[in-house]
Each structure stands twice: as structure tokens, then as C-alpha cells.
Structure 1
Amino acid sequence: MTESNGSAARARSEQMPDWEKRFRAPRVSLPDWAEDAPDHSVFVSNATGTYELYAWDRATGAQRQVTNRPNGTTDGVLSPDGGWIWWFDDKDGDEFGVWRRQPFTGGEDELATPGLDPSYPAGLALSRDGVTAVVGRSTDEDGTTIHVAVTGEAPVQIYRHRESAGVGDLSHDGSLIAIEHTEHGDAMHSALRVVRLDGTAVADLDDTKGGTEELGLEVLGFAPVEGDSRLLIGHQRRGRWEPLVWDVTTGEETDLALELPGDVSAEWYPDGSGLLIVHSFEARSELLRYDFATGEKTRVATPPGSVSGATARPDGSVEYMWSSAAEPSGVRSTAGGVVLDPPGLKSPGSVPVEDVWVEGPGGRIHALVQKPRGATGPLPTVFDIHGGPTWHDSDAFAAAPAAWVDHGYAVIRVNYRGSTGYGRAWTDALKHRVGLIELEDIAAVRAWAIESGLADPDRLILTGGSWGGYLTLLGIGVEPQAWTVGIAAVPVADYVTAYHDEMEALKAMDRTLLGGTPEEVPDRFEASSPLTYVDDVKTPVYISAGVNDPRCPIRQIDNYVKRLEARGATHEVYRYDAGHGSLVVDERIKQVRLELDFAARHLPVG
């Protein structure tokens, strides 16, 4: 770079607003490393302006871009021997495609599993020698299938069921496959089955009692030790997610009884001597080490905030992705320093969150509040509603809320019933009255925001993406007087049409949430569909959608928009060439700019 070009780049950076810098600043994911070649790692970065996969040889420091597609790539797996990078190749974000692989050192991509047609992915596990792959697939025609693909041989189907399922893990010696399945019909709570490579069953574990109880299990991973048949799993037997160790050959279960509030996940230390615990509670998280020999748990030092991923390295150090609402994310190590620090523009920080607890119809509701420094209410306020619904907002860095704060808005994020991190009962509470229960919790927090003097009742924006976009459209129809502006990204707008057009795994989830199909429980679908209330919408509404979205398909959004158009309702629609959101930085910035502009034009001046 010449000095003049460097000066021009610095000038452009200085003129760029902070909210845009947060999106443009290069960022990286937590590196995934090969179990038998720890110096070989793969990570995701937006360094080129599009999120793509990168290979990193830690021994030499060399990094190279692995994938290069117009709409980006984030789904990648490194083989245990470190020799191959597998990545999922779909079409323009529609999530329907095939696995390809590329040598870690570089070279041409090749079809990883010849003989398997395109599908939605349902898990992938690779053997240590890279010869055998266990491939989960999902299609409308077949439901879920699992194939064993051995290099040079035709793939063999070993599992098939109409309900959703997925590959959990492959044992260290490559002889056992752990499967999560929902054959009992409850897509929110999985049971487990361990099978051999030919599909014959070894062991089953089912806490759902055939679907009559709302208890789920999840695969966390086989022990990383030769000859060890223990499987680390997550369970909900005490009303929250916790780990236990299940020996799949003897049936013995070792309950760790960690006695930690909130949800707990874990992964093995590489030598199998302990577990790296990720403990999430009230929108924040911490790390601990559990030692099998002593039964003791020791805190792994991390700053206050949120750990979005962590992994234990062979030398005993822990690498983790950390951020807070005020401080951008970074990959750190307990060995000291930042693991990956991409060059170039650095992301500005934002303001910290304040915790608010509000009494609601189903119990105390946790909300996270951000507002401009020094600002006093009443302020124009954005209710930024998370997706999922089984997800939660946390004290973690997020560029979109920070953009609203930069423009003078208070931002409130609500962990409504359905959110994770507050116990199983809170997560499962929204069944059958889908959407309406979440809106009750949002309404309770809205009432607090107005009564406390924080929010201006005449300048309230309801917004969100995916399930948050769904709740936005539902909210402005169910409570048309409560909101000033609605901004919905990739939403469910017409629940019946969405059900018929969406990917198979989401159909199973909707059947669980609503208790059946649209034909079986039409009243529930009608009560929970934004289309039912579209003629009551009085607020200006902005909708953005990916034309290739398999989760919130475009046809059902078009149905909703046509109803708005028919009565001349104030609305704007932005359609873009991607799936359920975009991995292109310029596109994401364009979307945020359009949302900010829409709000500025339609919100009354305070």
C-alpha cells in the first residue's frame, strides 16, 4: 500500500460513522482445531467483506482463505487428522446443498460424498483417518436420513425417520455413532440412540417418556480417548440443562451434580481427565474446569460478560470467544493475550447494558437496557426482540443495537418466555399460544419502560429478525395502538403458508409448538399468525426478506404484503438475494441504514 492510498483509507475511516465501523471491522470466530493435528485450525472471518472460511497453520502462522462465494460460507468442519476442510455448499443461502472438501494445505474442492443428492444438513461426523463420514440429511420427501460414506464406496443409509434427527458424534475409534432424534414427535426435546456403522442399535436413552414429558437430551461428544465408550450428554432432569456422562456399553450414568443455576454445557479436555464447563446464567456466562479425579470444579478466569464459545487445547490452556455489550468480541486464551487479532479497522465499543427485572404474567422477566450516555428519558425506544424462540439476548456485543443507541434511541431486549437460560419451564412455556405468550411479556416490559420514564410512549419501535420479526408483525397487529413503528426482518408473516413452504425440520418444530399441522389445529395457527391481524395494523411497517430463505420463505411474506397493499397501509418492503439473513457486510449495512431511515421518517419528533 502506498502512503497516499494509506492516507485516503485513513480519511475514509475517520469519516465513517461508528455504527458502520462496527459492521466493517474484521472479526473472527473461535478457531476449530484438528484433534490429531492441533496446529491445524479453521475459522470464519469477514475480512474480505463477506464471511468465509479460513485455514490457519499455527506452526507457521500461515493463513489462507478457503472458500469464496458471493453470499458467503460459514458451515465448515476440520477432519480429526487435520488433512481436510469440509464445507457446505448451498445455493445463495437456501441451506439446501452438498458437502465439499478441500485439502488443508490448499487445492481444488471436490464433492465429499459422491452419491448423495442435495439436502438440508442434519449433522456431520468424520473418522480420525478421514476415510469414513457420517452424514445427516433432511428432505421433504424422506424426512431425516443418515448415511455412512466410506471413501471410494457408495454411501449406505443406516437411519431414516419422518421426524427430525441429527448426527451427534462419532466415537474415538470410529465404531459408534450418537444420534439425536425426535421419533416421539416432540421436536423441542430429543432422545438419544447409539448405533454401529451398520445401523444396529447399541443403546437408547429417552427422557421424554415417549413424548409425554418435556425433558430433552443432547449429544455433547464422545470421550477423546482410545477405547473409551463414555458419551458426554446434556440433560434437563433438574429443570435446566446440565451435563452427565453416559457409558453407552455398560449403561452407567455419572451425574456430575454441579449445582449451578442457569444452563450448563460442557466439552471434554483433550486427555479426557476433565470437562470444560460453560455456565450461562441471567444473560452472562463463565467458564469452569471439572476434574473427574477429585470431583472439584475450578473457575477459569474470564472477564464479566458473555463467552459465546470455548475450547480446551492439548496444553491445558483454554481459548474462548468473549465480549460484553460495551466491548467488541475477541478470541482470547488463558495462556495470555488475544489468539487471533485481524488487522485493519478496529470496532468501536458501545454502552454497557443495565439489567431490569419486571413482574410478568408468567413470572419475572429479564430485560437488558442500553441508552445513549448521559441521556435521560423519555427517549424514543427500540424493543429489539431476539429470534429462536429458544435463544436469549445476553451481555454480549451486538452491532445492530449499538447502531440504534448511536442514533439517540434507548434499546430494550426482552428474554421472554421461550428464551433459554432461565430454566426448562421458562423455555417450554409458549406451547400452543405461540407468539401471544411472548407478546404478554414484551407488553409487561413496555409498561415498565413507560412508567419508569425511560420510554416515550409516542415513539416506540418494535423490531426483530426471524422469530423476532414474527413477533414484530404479530405485535403490531395484536396491539396496534401500542407501537409507533414496526420493523421486521426475515419474519414469519403468514403462519399457514410458512409451514407448508419451510424446511422439514422447522415443520416438525411448528407441529410441536402448536400441537399439530394447520389442518389438525387450524384455530391455533390462526390465532398465532400475523396475517390474521394484518387489517388491524395501524403503524408504518418495514419488512426485509431474503428471496431464498428456507426458514421464513418469501411467498408467505408476499401474502402479508399484498394485504397491506390492498388497503393502502403505510409500508415498505426490501427483498434481497440471500437466505435467512446475509453474510455480506455491505448488504447488512444497507439493511441497517434502511431501517434507521424508515424509523427517522415515520417516528414523531420528540
Structure 2
Amino acid sequence: MGGMTEITESTPDSSSEPVPGTAPASASGMPAWERRFRAPRVSLPDWAEDAPDRSLFVSNATGTYELYAWDRATGEQRQVTDRPNGTTDGVLTPDGEWIWWFSDRDGDEFGVWLRQPFGGGADEPAAPGLDASYSAGLALGRDGTAVVGRSTDEEGTTIHVARPGSDPVEIYRHRESAGVGDLSHDGTLVAVEHTEHGDAMHSALRVIRIGGASHAEGCEGGSVVAELDDTEGGTVELGLEVLGFAPVDGDTRLLVGHQRRGRWEPMLWDVATGEQTDLAIELPGDVSAEWYPDGSALLIGHSFEARSELWRFDPVIRELTRVETPVGSVSGATARPDGTVEYLWSSAAHPPKVRSTAGREVLDPPGMKAPGSVAVEDVWVDGPGGRIHALVQRPAGEGPFPTVFEIHGGPTWHDSDAFAAGPAAWVDHGYAVVRVNYRGSTGYGREWTDALKHRVGLIELEDIAAVREWAVASGLADPAKLVLAGGSWGGYLTLLGLGTQPDAWALGLAAVPVADYVTAYHDEMEALKAMDRTLLGGTPEEVPERYEASSPITYVDAVKAPVHISAGVNDPRCPIRQVENYVDRLAARDAVHEVYRYDAGHGSLVVEERIKQVRLELAFAERHLK
């Protein structure tokens, strides 16, 4: 219950040269910004449905993010995985006897599932007979059944049922992206999210009964029980997501997220009868949900204007009750069998903690504690597509300040009032930090998220420009010391912004970016190809003018600002070849740039590696901004 939650500050090996302007150090001599990265932290613990004392969590206690088993009855904790580049993807079997974990190659996300006894022992193949792939979801049943989703460039998405002592049986195959949603409590029904209609941003749902005769193309090992598709053939852009089957044998209700009212909210879908029950939870913003363990209620996650909170909802009497949490962001929550709720909470000013409604901290890792940071201020700016929400952190003193525009990745993601060690490091060094939830961001309604299609990158930069103008006019930002920065999609927007708005930015810091969109498309993992086809309306061969207009390499010769680029050599999302193409163009005209390549994938799970990257960026900014 309560799936593993991502720890957002995951990561870089460090030289010892001090960075000019470093914030005051602790008594041990370590700067506060470094302590924020090095302080031990933990994820929200996952737990076995039928053995709730057995839990699994992620921690950076060794300096690398790895999986840990925790027996709550005895208090014993042990490290499950130990790999040079870290491990974060793990799942407990319902009986708590086994830990499944995904083993890739140095962060390339291409691998196989292994399993290890909860109490320790040798790893073994968890689903023998399935070759390495990108993961497309996993669901584990009570009788040892596993539903394994796979994605490869050659096959597209395939989903297999693996049972002990038997060869895996394929139950789904399609060229477009898809994934395992959930397995019913009795292990007979599998919910699949798919994009067979060709819109990778909006999934449809299919429920398959395991083991029946094939009733539909792509379901050789099972029979189709039900279909739900809100896209209407792709003409109406409404998505669906699987939130989970009811945790009771024989209960065929599936909790589903939908966008029928312009935002994410839950409903109940009885896959046996077809009945749909709209829960009509009247909260502004996006609403998600998961079941309480006995199926009697729903735990509601509510996200609105960069903050989140929890509620308990009784679907019978339609009663909504607040679950008290501090103001900030809840990045994961789970209801326990005793009715208490555990949740991972933080704010920009306060480091994350796993808390319980029982009034205690659930996991408090030993060692140094992360220092707090500066609270965010909310700013709303009128933009070409509507009001834009930005989060601002100010350093001590009077402005205008050198200002870092830290642009989030995704693009379907959003910045929130949550603790982030990277922005806090810039604040420590005297920079203001501005984070913009541009069009394409989640949490502001479906139309805002879907607005970036076809003019990809350029729309987001219009919103960033509007907030930049506010930052300068308000006296916050020094117009001569504006830094455009970000990772992944944020790195892409950084490079695109430096080329399309060359006079606006004094410096650029791009981590794991898309730099050459056409080459990136041909080299990236298949699921991202599908997303790019959705965003841009086709392949580079079908709509070359759109890829050209949205590609940073198109504008590389216009870049004036010094630019620092960091990239993982094993990155399957923003592959290294397309970064090298961009760097070669910078080097050909002796443009001021610096490139740091590291041996990992799309980011690193090694704390010292992450610190090294931030140190390099701080030093680069200090040299060029004076």
C-alpha cells in the first residue's frame, strides 16, 4: 500500500576548493548548503498489504540513495541494495516475503527486475524469461503472480503475467506507450493505462481478465473485461489514470482519476457492471485518491497553487474530513491498517519529514540534520496565456539581487512549496531564486497543462519572460545578472531561452538538457518518442518545421551568455549524442561554455556527485557574473 515516493533532491564527487561567497559553515566547517544535501533523509515507507509491519524505504544514509527494509515489529533496518550509482525502484510482495527491485546499468533505466528475501539473502531473477527493457509498471499478487510492463524500441510496450514455475505469458502489446495500472485484490483483473489513440499525454484504460481467451488484438493471454476512453478518438483531450482496485476480494470497483471537469479528480468505476460514480469532491485544484486498507474510505490528496493537503472521504455518506497537516507540500501519503495516516511533508523553509497523524515522526534518520532555508513568496503575473504563478525566495539584504530563474522539468510537473536543496544553495550565496509554473505545468487545470502543444518550448519561454519582466520592474532582480537554469525539460528551456532571448540572460546553467531535438528524438527511449510526437504533432520527418522551431541547436549561434552544461553519459531521456552536437557548435565559434560529463543517467543518486555539480555551477556563476 502507498507506493514508493520519489525523493526530489537526489543527487553529485567533490573537489575541496571553496566557492567564493559560500554561506557560513557549521561548527564542523561544512557549509550549510552542503549539509542540506548530505543530511540523511528517507522516503515515505511502502508497506506489505498482508504484513504491514514489513516496510521498504529509500535513504541516502550511505551517501548513495538505496533501498532499505524495515521490520517495524523489531525495529530492525537493513540495506537491501548497494550499487555504485544507487537504486530507488523497489516493491514489496503483498505477503512481505520478497522485495522486488529494478536493476539497470549505471542509470540507463534499461534492466530487469530482481528479488531478494525480506530478511536478506541473494538476489535472483524475479521474472525469469523476460529480457531487459525499460520498465512500464509492475503489480504483484497474493499467489505469486506478477504483472510486468516492459518497453523497448523494437517492441513498443508489452505486458506479461509471470507465475512461479511457468513461463511468462504476454497479455498486451502495442507500439504506443502503455503501462500496468493495478492488479485486483483477488489477482484476476489487470488495469492497463494505454495511449493506443496516439496521444501520449492522455491515457485510456483497459481491464483484462488474466488467463481467458483473447477477445481483442494485443491481448493474447487474457480477455478484455472493460474499456474506458475519454479521448473520443483523440479529438477530445481528456486523460484517465488508474488509482487502484478496491482492496477487497470480489469488489470490482476501480478508483480512477479523470479530467472531465478540467482538472484531475477521482471517480469509482465498477469494471464488471460499467457503472461510474462521480465523487464530485469540491476542492479547488487537482484531487487524487487512494483506498484506506479496508476499503471503507478514500485518502484524498489535494494540490492547489503549489501547496497540498490531505482529506479523508467516505464514499457512502459523501463526507469529507480534513487530515491535519502543516502548510506546505505532501509529496506522498498512505493510510495504515489502524486508520492513521503517514505522510512525507516539507516546505521551502523546512526539510522533509515522514510524519504520522498519531503525532510522531515515523522515520528519523540518525546523523546531521539539514538546515532550513528561506520561505517562498507567491507571485502572480499576467502573461499571454493567463495568470502565471511563480515562487520567489529572497536572500538577506536589499535588492536588486543577482537572480536565478530555476526552471522545473517535466514539462508536465510543477514547482511547489517544498524543500529543495539546490535553490536553497543559491539563496545562501546571495541570489534570489524564481521558479515559474509556466503553461505546461500541472496543478492549474487541464487547459494550462495542455497549452504548450506544437509551439513547444516557445510558449513556456513567453511565460518565463513575463515573470522576468516583473522581477526586474519590482526591484527584485538585477537585470545585468539574470541566470536561466534548470534540469531535464528545464535544461532544454534554458538552452532554448539563451538562443531565442540572447539579450535577456547573463548566464545559462543547463543540466541533462534536450539540446538538439531531432537527434534527441531518434536516440531517446520509446516512451519519450511518443510524448514528443504528441507535443509536436508528429515525428521530425512529418513536421520538421516544428522540431526546427523548438530545437535549441537552431539558435545556438545566437547565444551570447556563458553557458554551463552537465550531462549523464548513460542518459536515455536526454541522450549524450545530441548534447555533444550542441557543444560542438558552441566550440566551433569559441563561445564561452563549460561542459561537465558524469557517469550516470538522467541525474545521479550519489550525494557527492550532486554536490560537485552544484559547486561547479556556483563557481561558474561567480566567475562570469563577478
- Is the 8 Å Cα contact of residues 262 and 445 (structure 2) preserved in structure 1? yes
Match of 2:607 in 1: 585
Cα deviation for residue 14 of structure 1 reads 2.2
291-300 vs 539-548, which moves further? 291-300
Cα deviation for residue 372 of structure 1 reads 1.1
Q: Which residues of 2 match residues 337-352 of structure 1 at below 5 A?
A: 337-352=360-375
Match of 1:269 in 2: 292
Match of 2:121 in 1: 107
Match of 2:203 in 1: 190
Distance in structure 2 (CA, Å) of the matches to 1:491 and 1:217: 29
Match of 1:431 in 2: 453
Match of 1:283 in 2: 306
Cα deviation for residue 197 of structure 1 reads 1.2
3-state SS of 2:28 partner: helix
Match of 1:177 in 2: 190
Distance in structure 1 (CA, Å) of the matches to 2:592 and 2:262: 45
The correspondence for 2:133, drawn from 110, 119, 122, is 119
- Is the 8 Å Cα contact of residues 427 and 433 (structure 2) preserved in structure 1? yes
4+ residue runs of structure 1 moved beyond 4 angstroms? none
3-state SS of 1:200 partner: strand
String of CA shifts for 1:42-75, please: whole Å, max 9, x gaps.
0000000000000000000000000000000000
Cα deviation for residue 382 of structure 1 reads 0.2
Match of 1:6 in 2: none
Distance in structure 2 (CA, Å) of the matches to 1:49 and 1:349: 20
3-state SS of 2:316 partner: coil
Cα deviation for residue 513 of structure 1 reads 0.1
String of CA shifts for 1:418-449, please: whole Å, max 9, x gaps.
00000000000000000000000000000000
The correspondence for 2:257, drawn from 234, 238, 243, is 234
Cα deviation for residue 293 of structure 1 reads 2.6
Residue 458 in structure 1 maps to residue 480 in structure 2: yes
Match of 1:259 in 2: 282
- Total equivalences in the alignment: 592
Query: What code does the residue aligned with 1:392 have?
Result: H
Query: What code does the residue aligned with 1:228 have?
Result: D
Q: Which residues of 2 match residues 188-587 of structure 1 at below 5 A?
A: 188-198=201-211, 199-373=222-396, 375-587=397-609
3-state SS of 1:506 partner: helix
3-state SS of 1:556 partner: helix
Distance in structure 1 (CA, Å) of the matches to 2:94 and 2:549: 48
Query: What code does the residue aligned with 1:553 have?
Result: P
Query: What code does the residue aligned with 1:211 have?
Result: G
3-state SS of 2:238 partner: coil
Distance in structure 1 (CA, Å) of the matches to 2:231 and 2:314: 30
Query: What code does the residue aligned with 2:175 have?
Result: R
Q: Which residues of 2 match residues 82-93 of structure 1 at below 5 A?
A: 82-93=96-107
Cα deviation for residue 532 of structure 1 reads 0.1
Distance in structure 1 (CA, Å) of the matches to 2:135 and 2:535: 22
3-state SS of 2:620 partner: helix
Listed as ranges, the gaps of 5+ residues in structure 1 are: 1-10
Distance in structure 2 (CA, Å) of the matches to 1:293 and 1:317: 20
- Is the 8 Å Cα contact of residues 279 and 315 (structure 2) preserved in structure 1? no
3-state SS of 1:543 partner: strand
The correspondence for 2:62, drawn from 48, 57, 60, is 48
Residue 37 in structure 1 maps to residue 51 in structure 2: yes
3-state SS of 1:14 partner: coil
Distance in structure 1 (CA, Å) of the matches to 2:284 and 2:233: 28
Distance in structure 2 (CA, Å) of the matches to 1:496 and 1:334: 49
Distance in structure 2 (CA, Å) of the matches to 1:137 and 1:212: 28
3-state SS of 1:326 partner: coil
Match of 1:8 in 2: none
Residue 134 in structure 1 maps to residue 157 in structure 2: no
3-state SS of 2:615 partner: helix
Match of 1:72 in 2: 86
Distance in structure 1 (CA, Å) of the matches to 2:475 and 2:26: 39
Cα deviation for residue 336 of structure 1 reads 1.1
Distance in structure 2 (CA, Å) of the matches to 1:14 and 1:303: 31
Match of 1:4 in 2: none
String of CA shifts for 1:498-531, please: whole Å, max 9, x gaps.
0000000000000000000000000000000000
3-state SS of 1:240 partner: coil
String of CA shifts for 1:172-217, please: whole Å, max 9, x gaps.
0000000000000000000000001132100000000011111000
Query: What code does the residue aligned with 1:567 have?
Result: R
Query: What code does the residue aligned with 2:67 have?
Result: L
Distance in structure 2 (CA, Å) of the matches to 1:16 and 1:128: 48
- Is the 8 Å Cα contact of residues 39 and 370 (structure 2) preserved in structure 1? yes
Q: TM-score, normalised by structure 1?
A: 0.97
Match of 1:17 in 2: 31
- Is the 8 Å Cα contact of residues 26 and 32 (structure 2) preserved in structure 1? no
String of CA shifts for 1:118-163, please: whole Å, max 9, x gaps.
000000000013x110000000000000000111111111110000
3-state SS of 1:497 partner: helix
Cα deviation for residue 377 of structure 1 reads 1.1
Distance in structure 2 (CA, Å) of the matches to 1:236 and 1:185: 18
- Is the 8 Å Cα contact of residues 345 and 355 (structure 2) preserved in structure 1? yes
Distance in structure 2 (CA, Å) of the matches to 1:132 and 1:311: 24
Distance in structure 2 (CA, Å) of the matches to 1:234 and 1:347: 35
Distance in structure 2 (CA, Å) of the matches to 1:24 and 1:203: 48
3-state SS of 1:39 partner: strand
Cα deviation for residue 226 of structure 1 reads 1.4
String of CA shifts for 1:313-352, please: whole Å, max 9, x gaps.
0000000000000000010000111000000010000010
Query: What code does the residue aligned with 2:153 have?
Result: D
Cα deviation for residue 12 of structure 1 reads 8.2
Q: TM-score, normalised by structure 2?
A: 0.94
Cα deviation for residue 13 of structure 1 reads 6.0
Query: Could you say if the C-alpha distance between residues 567 and 249 of structure 1 is closer, same or farther in structure 2, counting changes exceeding 3 Å?
Result: same
